[in-house]
Structure 1
Amino acid sequence: MGCTTLLVGRRASADGSPLVARTEDSSNGSFDPKRAVVVRPEDQPRVYTSVLGRRRIELPGNPLRYTAVPNALPDEGIWGSAGINAANVAMSATETLTSNPRVLGADPLVELVPGRGTPGSPDHRPEQPGGIGEEDMLTLVLPYIRSAREGVERLGALLAEHGTYEMNGIAFSDVEDIWWLETVGGHHWIARRVPEDHYVTMPNQLGIDSFDLQDAEGEGRDHLASDDLRAFLGTHHLDLTVHRPSGAGFASVGSAADGPGSSPFNPREAFGSHSDHDHVYNTPRAWFMQRTLNPTGEDWDGPSPEHRPDSDDLPWSRRPERLLTIEDVKDVLSSHYQGTPFDPYSPRGTDAERRAFRPIGINRHNALAILQIRPDRPESSRALQWIAFASNPFNTLIPMFTNVEETPHYLSTTTGQVSTDSFYWASRLVATLADAHFAETIPLIERFQQQTLALGHAAVHAADESVEHPSQETSTDEGADGPVSELLAAANSRIAEQIRAETDQLLATVLHTTSNLMTNRFSRSDG
């Protein structure tokens, strides 16, 4: 599944919040309607069975409440996508990643093997369950963790025990840290703590480009990994980093005597890929995100740019030129190579250039979640999950406080039936109508986005003020989660209804505009 992830460390964001953001994109030619829900402890399964892998896993008996953005149609499982639990820990799962034959041969993916024959017959072979995957990970991990690091450790243990049938990247965040985990083959994994003053771009390609295995094997301050990763690297000759001996004319980056995994080594070279597919589907997205967030950091457009859309050495993380906001994250994850010949909506390039690269803001977005854990707010109202559905260039965000018992109907009641009562379907209708007449409708979209994002921020400010200075009606037990949770749920409902009204108005306006531009129009009227 194609997705794009942007992670912003707390010292790189405008308000000191770590930000975890990811678009969940469906495969080409398919769309998965999404809804936003709260999963209460009594609703969490105690024995979980996956749909795609048919893996049965017993779960702990003490789950936390958490939010999720599951598929509206559960025929392929839950696909919880992104959420924040009652301990204010966030998780985004997953970013599909690339690999290479050396890794997949050394630690094969754990794929479902269907059974055959009947029990007792000579040709009977029982079914062999597959490992866990994107369908499962949020449900299996988020309700049971109280820090980002615990998320890495729990998922790592599940991968070691059950394996996975796909390569994935998973983000965990708490009020201080973001950790990024990448699966490496069927059972192995690595994880890095995002530098606090950096952002990370992840476009469906194994991304970590430097790893300190000694730290992972020791204190684990910034790096964690499978217990046997060093042996795995050595046995299968996976470490491609050149470890030159120190001395005259050599940079000291570890010695050959240190062996595989000497610090630092490059996991992207060991475990990832640099294919022609990457150069049209993956690396251009990282290139555009980084040129947008660091526009003067290097020469992006000169005759000999340091990095191009097909560069294999784009850094995993960078320090932005200024602090980043929710709007910056939304804009980057809505982008389609604006200002370059590769923008599919611009007349600037040739037809070949406009279709050369996979845009970040693509038609088949299912959902966008921006997970924000705010350090300057009380724990009872610290966490926000900003939610958008359908194609990002044409949609908007609704902020949702996560310390609640349910989400507004406009977000939670999506079904397979197209209806403007659903934020998902209303957003998809707007995008589909506007796309064909981009130049005529994008001014309407941009005004709508500014208005609704302003409404969202105002709603958050008003709710924060109510939490700090509760009225007598809501302050039966000052500081208790009960009254605060009810206040936040009411705030969620109000902003959802405000944005519903704005979305309905936009849909009507876009429909009128595009109806007047239909191919069968004729300038002469009756009379």
Structure 2
Amino acid sequence: MACTTILIGKAASYDGSTIIARNEDSPGGQFEPKKMHVVQPEEQPRTYKAVESHVTIELPEEPMRYMSVPDALPGHGIWAAAGINEANVAMTATETITSNERVLGADPLVVYRPAHGTEGEEGYEPEVVGGIGEEDMVTLVLPYIRSAREGVQRLGELLTRYGTYEMNGIAFSDVDEIWWLETVGGHHWIAKRVPDDAYVTMPNQLGIDSFDLADAEGARREHMASADLRAWMAENHLDLTFAPGSVGFAAQAEATGVADVFNPREAFGSHSDSDHVYNTPRAWYMQRCLNPSDRWDGPGAAHGPESDTIPWCRVPERKLTIEDVKYVLSAHYQGTPYDPYGKLGTEATRGLYRPIGINRNGQLAVLQIRPYLPESCRGVQWMAFGSNVFNALVPFYTNVEAAPAYLENTSERVTSESFYWANRIIAALADARFRDNSAHIERYTEKVGALGHQVLRETEAAVRDLAPEEAPAALEAANTRMADALKAETEKLLASVLYTTSLSMKNAFAMSDN
């Protein structure tokens, strides 16, 4: 599944928060309806069975309540996508990433195989269950962890035991730390702590470009990995570190053939032609926006849209905001020859690269853990549904008993009474007359965003004086206030876009036309 992720360390964010965010995009030709939902402890399964892989996993007792963004239509699994639990730990899952033939040959993916033939007859082959994947990970991990580090440890144990049928990247955050985990083959994994003063860009490609294996095997301050990672890499000749004289190539590495510090993107990732069209341009544009003083264009540019060496993380030129996150995760290469809505370049360049804000965006969850507030109101989940080019990002508190109906009522029925479907309708109408409708979208995004910050400010002034057990009801009332205002503004936008695009219909005709 195609997605885009950005992670922002607490010293790089505007208010000292940790921020993790991911677009969830449907595969080509699909549009998966999404909803927002609070999972209560009694709703959490004790025996979990995956729809995709048929794997069955016994889960711990006493799960915590957590926010989620599952698929709205039943039948093919939960796909909980993103959320914050009652311990103010956040998780996004997953960013589909790439690998290479050497890795997949050394540790094959654990793929489900259905039964073949008739049981009891010659040639019958029983079902072989698969591993865990995007469908499962939030449900299996988020209700049971009290820190980002614990999230890495729990998911790592599950991957080692059950394996996975796909390559994925998963983010965890708490008030202090952000960790990024990448699966490597069927059972192996690596995880790295995001530097506090940096941001990370992830566009469907294995991203970590420097890993301290000695730290992962020892103190685990900033790196964690499968216990046997070094031996497995050595056995399969996966480390591509050039020479014993390279930095981090210790005596132990000379004996094992694996450097203490190596580049996972080179060892485990890919640099295919399709990466240069589908993946690397997105990282290039996000970093172009957040470090604009660098040279990104022309023959002297340090990195172009097809560069294989765009950094996994870097320090931004200024502190980053929620609005920055929304902008880069809605981007369609504005100001470059690659913008499908632009006038620069040619018809060929304007469709050359896969946009970040794409028609198949299903939901965007921006998970913010704020250190300066009581634990009762520390977690906020900013949400957008549908194509990010045409929507707005709205904050909702996660320490609540239920999500607002306007965001939870998504069903198969297409209706403007649902936030998901209203956004899908607006996007389809606005795209047809992008320039005519862009001012409507900009005004809507700014008004809804400003209202969100206002509701947060006013709510928190009141909640500070409440006992912890009184806070959820007050936060739920604030969520309802936000959802009611959001519905009114979204309906106004729909009316404006419908009117503007209707004026441009090809069958327009009036008696005054000449």
Opposite residue 18 of structure 2, the aligned amino acid is P
Match of 2:395 in 1: 399
The yes-or-no answer on 1:159 pairing with 2:159 is yes
Gap runs ≥5 in structure 1? 470-477
Report how far residue 398 of structure 1 moved. Answer: 1.7
Match of 1:376 in 2: 372
Q: What CA distance in whole angstroms lies between the structure 2 residues aligned with 1:180 and 1:480?
A: 31
Q: After TM superposition, list the pairs within 5 Å mapping 1:240-255 onto structure 2.
A: 240-245=240-245, 254=250
The yes-or-no answer on 1:358 pairing with 2:348 is no
Tell which deviates more after alignment, 119-128 or 60-69: 119-128
Tell which deviates more after alignment, 234-243 or 517-526: 517-526
Match of 1:475 in 2: none
Opposite residue 272 of structure 1, the aligned amino acid is G
Opposite residue 271 of structure 1, the aligned amino acid is F
Tell which deviates more after alignment, 363-372 or 262-271: 262-271
Report SS of the residue matched to 2:262. Answer: coil
Match of 1:479 in 2: 467
Gap runs ≥5 in structure 2? none
Paired residues of 2:200 and 2:313 also in contact (CA < 8 A): yes
Report how far residue 254 of structure 1 moved. Answer: 4.3
Match of 1:264 in 2: 261
Over the aligned positions, Cα root-mean-square deviation in angstroms equals: 1.2
Match of 1:321 in 2: 317
Match of 2:235 in 1: 235
Residues 299-335 of structure 1: CA deviation (Å, up to 9, x unaligned): 1123221101100000000000000000000000000
Match of 1:222 in 2: 222
Paired residues of 1:243 and 1:254 also in contact (CA < 8 A): no
The yes-or-no answer on 1:492 pairing with 2:479 is yes
Report SS of the residue matched to 2:352. Answer: coil
Opposite residue 359 of structure 2, the aligned amino acid is N
Match of 2:301 in 1: 305
Report how far residue 76 of structure 1 moved. Answer: 1.4
Report SS of the residue matched to 1:76. Answer: coil
Q: After TM superposition, list the pairs within 5 Å mapping 1:85-234 onto structure 2.
A: 85-234=85-234
Match of 1:3 in 2: 3
Report SS of the residue matched to 1:262. Answer: coil
Opposite residue 294 of structure 1, the aligned amino acid is N
Match of 1:331 in 2: 327
Q: What CA distance in whole angstroms lies between the structure 1 residues aligned with 2:310 and 2:255?
A: 27
Match of 2:26 in 1: 26
Opposite residue 463 of structure 1, the aligned amino acid is T
Match of 1:343 in 2: 339
Report how far residue 253 of structure 1 moved. Answer: 5.1
Q: How many residues of Structure 1 are paired with residues of Structure 2 in the alignment?
A: 512
Q: What CA distance in whole angstroms lies between the structure 2 residues aligned with 1:337 and 1:133?
A: 31
Q: What CA distance in whole angstroms lies between the structure 1 residues aligned with 2:256 and 2:336?
A: 44
Paired residues of 2:7 and 2:199 also in contact (CA < 8 A): yes
Tell which deviates more after alignment, 204-213 or 108-117: 108-117
Report how far residue 520 of structure 1 moved. Answer: 1.2
Paired residues of 2:244 and 2:254 also in contact (CA < 8 A): no
Structure 1 residue aligned with 2:410, among 379, 403, 414?
414
Tell which deviates more after alignment, 159-168 or 252-261: 252-261
Report how far residue 258 of structure 1 moved. Answer: 5.3
Paired residues of 1:243 and 1:262 also in contact (CA < 8 A): no
Opposite residue 286 of structure 2, the aligned amino acid is M
Match of 2:489 in 1: 502
Opposite residue 412 of structure 1, the aligned amino acid is E
The yes-or-no answer on 1:454 pairing with 2:450 is yes
Paired residues of 1:11 and 1:197 also in contact (CA < 8 A): yes
Opposite residue 336 of structure 2, the aligned amino acid is T
Report SS of the residue matched to 2:75. Answer: helix
Q: What CA distance in whole angstroms lies between the structure 2 residues aligned with 1:195 and 1:506?
A: 39
- Report % sequence identity: 61
Opposite residue 278 of structure 2, the aligned amino acid is Y
Opposite residue 352 of structure 2, the aligned amino acid is A
Report how far residue 523 of structure 1 moved. Answer: 4.4
Report how far residue 519 of structure 1 moved. Answer: 1.1
Residues 347-366 of structure 1: CA deviation (Å, up to 9, x unaligned): 21111100100000101000
Q: What CA distance in whole angstroms lies between the structure 2 residues aligned with 1:64 and 1:243?
A: 48
Q: After TM superposition, list the pairs within 5 Å mapping 1:42-121 onto structure 2.
A: 42-121=42-121
The TM-score with structure 1 as length reference comes to 0.96
Residues 390-448 of structure 1: CA deviation (Å, up to 9, x unaligned): 00011011211000000110000100110111100001111110001111000110011
Report SS of the residue matched to 2:227. Answer: coil
The change in CA–CA distance for 1:258 and 1:328 in structure 2 (over 3 A counts) is: farther
Paired residues of 1:362 and 1:391 also in contact (CA < 8 A): yes
Report SS of the residue matched to 1:230. Answer: helix
Q: What CA distance in whole angstroms lies between the structure 1 residues aligned with 2:255 and 2:372?
A: 44
Q: What CA distance in whole angstroms lies between the structure 2 residues aligned with 1:159 and 1:525?
A: 69
Q: What CA distance in whole angstroms lies between the structure 1 residues aligned with 2:168 and 2:67?
A: 21
Q: What CA distance in whole angstroms lies between the structure 1 residues aligned with 2:512 and 2:73?
A: 46
The TM-score with structure 2 as length reference comes to 0.98
Report SS of the residue matched to 1:67. Answer: strand
Match of 1:474 in 2: none
Report how far residue 10 of structure 1 moved. Answer: 0.4
Report SS of the residue matched to 1:312. Answer: coil
